[in-house]
Structure formats: structure tokens, C-alpha cells
Amino acid sequence: DTEGLLRIKEENQKHYRRAQRHQEKKEKIQRHNRKLGDLVEKKTYDLKTQYEHLANLRRAHILELTSVIFPIEEVKTSMRDPADVSSESDSAMTSSTVSKLAEARRTTYLSGRWVCDDHNGDTSISITGPWITLPNNGDYSAYYSWVEEKKTTQGPDMEHNNPAHTISAALCYATQLVNTLSLILDVNLPKKLCNRQVNEFCGENLSRHRFTRAVKKLNANILHLCFSQHVNLDLLHPLHTLRNLMYLVSPDTENLGR
């Protein structure tokens, strides 16, 4: 029993010395983990600072791009609504008729259905200059009408102020701007836009199907960029091409460049 007790004591001493070594190793690992934690925290702070610096650079590039090359702004139209003139000339017109006319002015027949638009006829959005604009309500039917008329009319088009020319030019510039923004922001677009598609709007006359498909792809890419930069969703509309772009590149967009 005495010999067994001695053996047990020796084993306990070995276990005690091993436990001490393990404790020292544990403390060493804990010190190493604290150092790694401090390093990770410092690297995380540095990374966050670099992200903020990168966002500021992107924001500066975008604001310079949209102020020098692709300025986008709202253009007020000075056209007076004919319904207002008629209501003034006809003193017997009832208030119900006036309200019905006002409601009619806020609706647009677009792609086979009536669409409500509070800005109908009031403003338009320009890109690269006040002479290149898009309808505020997303109604590009003037282009369809022009293409159909070109099919039946022979000879060159001598009308320089044709709204179809303005629509195609504005959409072409908008597509170029979207491609450039995707590169600056490093955001992959859901709908691929190659050089052929960029020049598609300013190339040959597109059929209604091809034109509508190209516009839908452009609008989808613009909305995707807006979502990536946390633009206020209440401001966006799926048909307002240039207005959505204007909100995206606005200096008031807090997360622009993220």
C-alpha cells in the first residue's frame, strides 16, 4: 500500500507539472488571441476607412461626370394646358367637368393600358443639355409613331426637332451613363449592355418590340444601380428612366459610392 501510495503521488506530481504546462500554453494562446483580436479590430477600422475613402472618390467622380459630361436636370415646360384655356373661356363649365379634365390630364395611355402620372405634361428630364429630353411619364410612343411613319414615307427626314430623335438620343446617352456608372461603382448589371446595345438607340430604326425590350433592360439596370446605392424607394418609378437616374446621381443621395 505504501509503494502504491508513492506511485500515485508521483503520478499526481506529473499531472500537476503537465497541468502547469497546459496552463502556461493556455495563457500564451489567450495572449496570442488578444493580439490577433486587436490586429483584426485595427484592420477592420482601416478597411472601413478605405471603404469610406473609396466611396468619396467614387462619389466625386460621379458628380464630376454628371456635371460636365452627362448633366441631368428637370426642365419645366411652359406649355399651357388647353383644358385650362377652355375652362376660362366657357363660364358655364361645371366643376365636375373641370375635375374630369384634370383627372384625364393625370393619366396616360401607355403600352395598352392607362397609367396615372401626376407630372404629365408639367416637366421633362434632360440629359447632356436642355434640348435632349425624355417624357416625364415614360411614354415613348412618339418613337413608335415616327418609325411607322418612316415605313410609309419615302425620302429623308427633314424634321430636326422630331421628338423621336430626341428620345433615341436621350436613351443612348442614358445607356452610356449607366455603363460608366456600373464601372465606377463596381456593380454588375443584371442586364448585359454591350457596345452594340449602347448604339442600338441611335442606330437603325428599331421595331416596337426591340425598342420596348431595350428600354426595359435599361430601366432594369437603372433600378438595380439605385437599389445598390440605397436610393429612397418612394422616389423611384419603373418607367421613369432619366428621373430615376437623376435621383441616383443626386448630391443628396447619402450612400452614393458605397
For residues 184 and 60, the answer to whether their CB atoms sit within 8 Å is no
* Residue-level pLDDT at 82: 43
For residues 253 and 247, the answer to whether their CB atoms sit within 8 Å is yes
Please give the order of strands across the beta sheet that includes 133-135: 72-76, 123-127, 133-135
% the chain with pLDDT above 70: 73
CA proximity to 121, closest of 110, 108, 112: 108
Question: Concatenated DSSP letters for the chain?
Answer: -HHHHHHHHHHHHHHHHHHHHHHHHHHHHHHHHHHHHHHHHHHHHHHHHHHHHHHHHHHHHHHHHHHHTS-EEEEE--PPPHHHHHHHH-TT--HHHHHHHHHHHTEEEETTEEEE-TTTTTEEEEESSTTSEEETT---HHHHHHHHHHHH--S----TT-HHHHHHHHHHHHHHHHHHHHHHHT---SS---HHHHTTTTSSPPPHHHHHHHHHHHHHHHHHHHHHTT--GGG--TT-HHHHHHHHT-TT-TTTT-
Which span out of 115-124, 195-204, 209-218 was modeled with the highest average pLDDT?
A: 209-218
Say yes or no to pLDDT of 46 above 60: yes
Say yes or no to pLDDT of 156 above 70: no
* Residue-level pLDDT at 35: 93
Q: What is the mean pLDDT of residues 198-215?
A: 77
Least confident of 66-70, 148-152, 246-250: 148-152
* Residue-level pLDDT at 81: 46
Stated pTM of the model? 0.68
Please give the Cα distance from 87 to 100 (Å, whole number): 12
Q: What is the pLDDT of residues 51-79, one digit of tens each?
A: 999 999 999 999 999 999 999 888 876 54
Is the pLDDT higher at 59 or at 201?
Answer: 59
The rounded mean pLDDT for the chain is 80
Q: Where are the domains of the chain?
A: 124-152+160-249
- Burial (CB count <10 Å: 0-12, 13-18, 19+), residue 240: buried
Say yes or no to pLDDT of 240 above 80: yes
Q: What is the pLDDT of residues 130-146, one digit of tens each?
A: 888 888 777 787 777 77
Block residue for cell numbers 462619389:
59
